[in-house]
Structures are given as structure tokens and as C-alpha cells.
Chain A
């Protein structure tokens, strides 16, 4: 059995693919856990299947360059297939990010829906000034990336940026989840104060009405207007 080796360019390609692949794997596992229906995404699995196919084509050529198949020179064939594998893994990555932002957004929508703006603003003071805008910015960014599906413009820096997006979305999700108890307590307190205030206002209004009635009766009695 012959052994195989990779030149420095191929090694770099493999490293990039591994970095993105394990990122996608974690995103896929995480999304399956937080998806409200516990769904999976065959689209992502299909991209990974295609990536796996290109890796195997490259490995096959490396193991036995005389295998029938492509007529391209060996190095070009291997490198092109590794590039295609990277492309598929990146597409899986965009799809997984898109799904993540959808999951986080829906969870935040549903978690915060029962609470008033005042409660949210008091308990999570940076929600309207920061977190909400951040979520919308990330959604736009991810949706642009997914629409272009172009790896030509991608490099390791982009991957760092995506990692940051994921970390931040996860941190926003955590911050909202951690605030749920305080949100409920504040909302309850606020509702009970509003109820008390409403009672006072109602009593005042009833008092004013009774007083007016009484005054009207007195005026009527003394001056016999009607």
C-alpha cells in the first residue's frame, strides 16, 4: 500500500476545510438542540456530503494517480477538488449561520413578547440601544453572505468574523434567557402598581362624580333650578 503526502498548498487547503467543517459541525449540533421543532437541515447535510465526495476524489488520486477518471494533471485535480470541498463546507456554514440567526430571533421574540417595552428597557438596559440592533445587523450580514454563496471573497478573517457573530448571538440569547426571571418579577410588580393606580383613579373618578351629583342636588334644593 502506497503512502500519501500533501504539499504545503494542499495542507493549507485541508487546514482551512477542517477549521470550517468543525465549526459547521458544532453549529449543526447546536441548531438541532435549539430549533423549536428539533428539526435538522438536509440542505446542510447535502453540502457536507458533496464536500466528502470531493475529498474522496482527491484522496483517490493521491493514493493511486493512475486511477482512471480525470484527465487533469494530478496536482491540479487534487487541489481543485480540495477547493470544491472547501466551497461546499462554506456553503454549509452560511446555511447553518442563517438557521442559527433564525432560531435566536424566534426565541427572543417569543421570550420577550409577554413583556412591555418599559420592563424590557429596565431589566435589559442595552436591549433597545444595542442588542436589538445587533441581531438585525447580523441577520442582514448572514443573509448577504448566504445569497452570494461565493467563496472567492472569503478568507480566514471571514471565518473569524462568523465565529464572532455566532459568539455574540449566543451571548445575546444567554443574556435574554438569564433575564427571564427578573423580567417576570418586574412585569408583575409593574402590573400590580398599575392596578393599584387604576383603582385610585377609579375611586377618584367615582368620588368626583358623587361630589358633582351631591353638589347638583344641593343647588337644585336651594335654588330650585329645575
Chain B
């Protein structure tokens, strides 16, 4: 079945959609706050349970800063 969808480039004119890169991870606290009321995606992310780079590095620093018994 052929689905009718808007032609490629109708939103971003002149951009090569097929070979464009998404780029680095763009999820951060501010974006989550803004979009979470509308989000139907990942529950962990919309409920603030996710690692940003800084959260992950802070946890790593804490864990590796403690010696194993």
C-alpha cells in the first residue's frame, strides 16, 4: 500500500533530507521541561529519569572517586 505523505523537502526547502545528519544528542533539561507535557515518547525521559552528559560525568566522578572495598 502506497501511503500519501508530503513530498520530501516541503518543510525544509533546499535541504538534502536523505543525507543530512541528526547531529549530536540534543536532549537536555530545558528541552525536556518544554516538551514533556506533549511527549508520548520515552517515559523515563519525560519523567526526568535520564542522563545528560553532565549528570553522567558527575555520577562517574562520584563512583570512581570512591575506592572499591
Contact = CB atoms under 8 A, between A and B. Distances in A.
A43 B69 contact: no
A46 B56 CA distance: 15
B16 A69 contact: yes
Interface in B18-54: 18-19, 21-22, 24-25, 27, 42, 44-45, 49-53
A49 interface: yes
Tell which of B21, B25, B60 has the most Cβ of chain A within 10 Å.
B25
A25 interface: no
B10 to A, nearest CB: 14
A41 to B, nearest CB: 5
List of 8 A-B pairs having minimum Cβ-Cβ separation, nearest first? A69-B18, A46-B25, A40-B44, A42-B27, A112-B69, A106-B63, A39-B49, A40-B50
Nearest to B63: A106
Q: How large is the interface on A (under 10, 10 to 19, 20 to 34, 35 or more residues)?
A: 20 to 34
B61 to A, nearest CB: 11
Contact of A70 (B19, B24, B49): B19
Given A42-B51, A46-B24, A57-B18, A32 B69 contact: no
Contacts of B24: 46
A145 interface: no
26 contacts: A38-B49, A39-B44, A39-B49, A39-B50, A39-B51, A40-B42, A40-B50, A41-B50, A41-B56, A42-B27, A42-B52, A43-B51, A43-B53, A46-B24, A46-B27, A49-B22, A50-B21, A57-B19, A68-B18, A69-B19, A102-B63, A105-B63, A105-B68, A108-B68, A109-B69, A132-B68
Contact of A113 (B50, B63, B69): B69
Contacts of A108: 68-69
Contacts of A109: 63, 66, 68-69
Tell which of A43, A50, A132 has the most Cβ of chain B within 10 Å.
A43
Interface in A68-125: 68-70, 99, 102, 105-106, 108-109, 112-113, 115, 117, 120
Interface of A: 32, 37-43, 45-46, 49-50, 53, 57, 60, 67-70, 99, 102, 105-106, 108-109, 112-113, 115, 117, 120, 132, 135-136, 139
